[in-house]
Amino acid sequence: MASIGLSVNFGHLSLRCVSPEAARAGAAFSAGGLVGKMVEVMPQSMNETELLTPRLRLTALSRGDAFAIADALGNFAVSCWLARVPWPYRLEDAYAFLSQAELATLAGDVRIFAIRAEGEPALIGLVGLQGLREEPEIGYWLAEPHWGKGYASEAVAAVLDHTFSQLGFASVRSGVFLGNDPSLRIQKKLGFEIVGKSLRVCDARGGAQPHIDTRLKVANFRHAMMRKKADAAVEG
């Protein structure tokens, strides 16, 4: 994943995660306005937090998402940029991921959002945070038919806003495997900085691959969002 392509892997989850999801909370509220019309809704419990962006709904995962996950990650063009995603990816891998994700979410170190688009019955991608007890790491992927529409930028911005505004973190880690220029472009637009290079295992490609490590500070994210808003105003 970002390493969703990172060391994070939202297709097959490592279980070091933990942190209690909080109680049922109230009504919809604005998440600060920096990501346009994004709205955060916390109608039931915090692990069911729903983020609304102009075009997308980011929700909790359900068992019914297994087919869409298996379909998307069964595509090497997606999985080759992710870290610990089994290959070939089968339906049983998706069910195992969902079980692990459920436990890890309850434990509290992971928060994973399904990306849903209007008119699309199935999930179209995932954005996830892991390491919520320390500095979180964000990862994401989108099913190939949905690439090139700005969906990943929109979804990742919403989850970052949630991470900083609601979860209270001051920075987030991420990264991309070398050559993943669209993902690096997304991260740079959101204010991420390159902080190093490493080797990370990519299961789909069968070994360690060169990886660009990135990090986002809350101030840089705010600045990037304000710049985006100003650019949109200029464009009319």
Ligand X SMILES: CC(C)(COP(=O)(O)OP(=O)(O)OC[C@H]1O[C@@H](n2cnc3c(N)ncnc32)[C@H](O)[C@@H]1OP(=O)(O)O)[C@@H](O)C(=O)NCCC(=O)NCCS
CA 96 to mean position of chain CA atoms? 19
- Residue 130 binds to ligand X (criterion: CB under 6 A): no
Taking residues 150 to 179 in sequence order and writing x for each that binds ligand X by CB under 6 A, - otherwise, the string is xxxx----------------------x---
Cite the beta strand spans of the chain per DSSP E.
29-30, 39-41, 50-52, 56-59, 110-117, 125-130, 137-142, 171-177, 193-202, 207-217
12 vs 45: CA distance, rounded Å: 24
Task: Single out the residue of 35, 117, 142, 216 in contact with ligand X (rule: CB under 6 A).
Answer: 142
Task: Single out the residue of 90, 185, 188, 197 in contact with ligand X (rule: CB under 6 A).
Answer: 185
Q: How far is the CB of 142 from ligand X (least distance, A)?
A: 4
Which of 9/19 has CB closer to ligand X?
9
100 vs 12: CA distance, rounded Å: 8
Which of 42/117 has CB closer to ligand X?
117
194 vs 196: CA distance, rounded Å: 6
- Residue 53 binds to ligand X (criterion: CB under 6 A): no
Which amino acid appears at position 157 of this protein? A
Q: Kindly indicate which of the ranges 22-30, 86-94, 111-119, 181-189 contains the residues binding ligand X, using the contact rule CB under 6 A.
A: 181-189
- Residue 141 binds to ligand X (criterion: CB under 6 A): yes
CA 19 to mean position of chain CA atoms? 18
Binding residues for ligand X (CB under 6 A): 1-6, 78, 81-82, 140-142, 147-153, 176, 180-183, 185-186, 189
